[in-house]
């Protein structure tokens, strides 16, 4: 699927995929294939791989390529966005070339890891990567990173012919979407919401879709929102958004917010319990969770997802 055909009129529903690992800590290709099949069956055919939800800072180059290659083989017609962020523009460009060879359609770039930049430096960094990238580039604003993408910076970057979109994970700032859309008006530049509770408000404001981690566990719910929206069924879209907002509420719980791995477990445990992932393991070895924490996740998902999330039996 050609990345040059990213639509301005048909909204993009993109799942931010977790990265499955085996018990030995290797990339679990069969589980990734099952996850891709699960999403396709649920109505999602656009995938963001090796992003923050995919544990990209903890992956080496071989892992990154294995993930993109496996997803491409499992879904030849899907649109694949692949994270290329790293420690500098040379690292990002090397990653962009690698993921292109592995089958990605769009490269996704955060601000550099670890180091803080001012906004002029951030524009220069992204421009250097966009100039040299063999793939169209989407930039990625996330509050975990040391350098935010200010609205005027996004407007400047939207002028670049090879920068096509922004994924905006903004801490639930409902006003930022409208500000960015106004600042980038007239450009073929897509605003993609990264916060689940703001998906419908983004579409209502004129945004172009979303990139959401909870799409992994609730693809049909997100697809129902988009189907209703495109059919002009605002009541149906609002009903779906209410359920999505309730599901997003798990991220606000103190026990989930205590670490990134606790966040990931809210996604991997339900997928494991549904037989999609063989394990709940992550890139860091030896991570364990208290039974009470896992019971909380299971109970929450039973309440907020269709059907019970039944633990696997050996």
- When pLDDT is cut at 50, 70 and 90, the band that residue 310 belongs to is very low
Band the pLDDT of 311: cuts 50, 70, 90.
Answer: very low
- pLDDT at position 230 is 97
Check whether 2 has a pLDDT greater than 90: no
- Residue 3 tokens read as 């990345």
Nearest CA-CA partner of 163 in 54, 6, 2, 1 = 6
What single string gives the DSSP state of each residue in 3-41?
A: GGG--SSSPEEEEE----B-TTSSB-HHHHHHHHHHHHH
Lowest mean pLDDT among 18-22, 84-88, 213-217, 293-297: 84-88
Phi, psi torsion values for 165, nearest 5 degrees: -160, 165
Instruction: Give how far Cα 272 sits from Cα of 69, 128, 156, 265, 312, Å.
Output: 22, 40, 42, 10, 8
Sign of CA dihedral 117, 171, 94, 132: negative
Q: Is the pLDDT of residue 299 over 60?
A: yes
Pair 109, 149: CB distance under 8 Å? no
pLDDT of residue 7: 65
Confidence of residue 267 (pLDDT cuts 50, 70, 90): very high
Mean pLDDT computed over 253-261: 96
| Beta carbons within 8 Å of 13's beta carbon, 6+ residues apart | 43, 44, 46, 209, 210, 215, 222, 223, 226
Q: Is the dihedral of CA 267, 46, 66, 166 positive or negative?
A: negative
Tokens of 143: 């509050």
Which residues are tagged catalytic?
A: 140, 167
* Tokens (6 digits) for 63: 């892992």
* Per-residue model confidence (pLDDT) at position 1: 38
Instruction: Return the closest-CA partner of residue 110 out of 157, 78, 72.
Output: 157
Lowest mean pLDDT among 41-55, 227-241, 298-312: 298-312
pLDDT in tens, 84-124: 998 899 999 999 999 999 999 999 999 998 899 999 999 99
Structure confidence at residue 86 (pLDDT):
87
Pure H helices in the chain: 29-41, 61-74, 89-102, 119-132, 151-157, 174-183, 199-205, 219-230, 234-248, 254-257, 260-273, 291-304
What radius of gyration do the chain's Cα atoms show? 18
Segment 190-211, tens digit of pLDDT: 999 999 999 999 999 999 999 9
Q: Which residue has the higher pLDDT, 174 or 99?
A: 99
The pTM for the full model equals: 0.94
CB distance 278 to 28 below 8 Å: yes
Give me the domains of the chain, ranges plus CATH numbers.
Answer: 3-304 (3.20.20.70)
**pLDDT recorded at residue 171:** 78
Q: Name the residue among 293, 277, 309 with its Cα closest to residue 30.
A: 277
- Grade residue 62 by pLDDT with cuts at 50, 70 and 90: very high
Mean pLDDT of 162-178: 91
């Amino acid at each position: 699927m050609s990345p040059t055909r990213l639509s301005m009129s048909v909204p993009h529903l993109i799942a931010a995929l977790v990265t499955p690992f085996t018990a030995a800590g290797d990339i679990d290709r069969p589980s990734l294939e099952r996850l891709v099949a699960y999403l396709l069956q649920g109505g999602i055919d656009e995938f963001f791989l090796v992003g923050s939800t995919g544990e990209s800072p903890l992956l080496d180059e071989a892992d990154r390529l294995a993930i993109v290659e496996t997803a491409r083989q499992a879904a030849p017609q899907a649109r694949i966005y692949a994270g290329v962020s790293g420690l500098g523009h040379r690292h990002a460009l090397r990653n962009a070339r690698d993921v292109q060879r592995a089958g990605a359609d769009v490269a996704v770039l955060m601000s550099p890891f670890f180091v803080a930049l001012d906004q002029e430096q951030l524009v220069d960094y992204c421009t250097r990567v966009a100039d040299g990238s063999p793939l169209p580039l989407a930039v990625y604003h996330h509050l975990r990173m040391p350098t935010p993408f200010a609205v005027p910076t996004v407007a400047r970057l939207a002028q670049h012919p090879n920068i096509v979109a922004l994924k905006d994970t903004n801490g639930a700032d409902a006003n930022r979407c409208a500000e960015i859309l106004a600042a980038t008006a007239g450009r073929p530049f897509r605003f993609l919401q990264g916060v689940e509770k703001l998906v419908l408000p983004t579409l209502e404001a004129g945004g172009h879709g979303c990139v959401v981690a909870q799409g992994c566990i609730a693809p049909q719910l997100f697809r129902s929102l988009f189907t209703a929206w495109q059919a002009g069924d605002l009541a149906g879209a609002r009903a779906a958004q209410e359920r999505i907002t309730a599901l997003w509420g798990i991220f606000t719980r103190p026990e989930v917010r205590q670490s990134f791995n606790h966040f990931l477990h809210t996604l991997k445990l339900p997928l494991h319990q549904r037989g999609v992932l063989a394990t709940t393991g992550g890139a860091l070895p030896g991570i364990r969770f208290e039974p009470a924490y896992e019971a909380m996740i299971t109970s929450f998902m039973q309440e907020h997802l269709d059907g019970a999330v039944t633990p696997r039996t050996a």
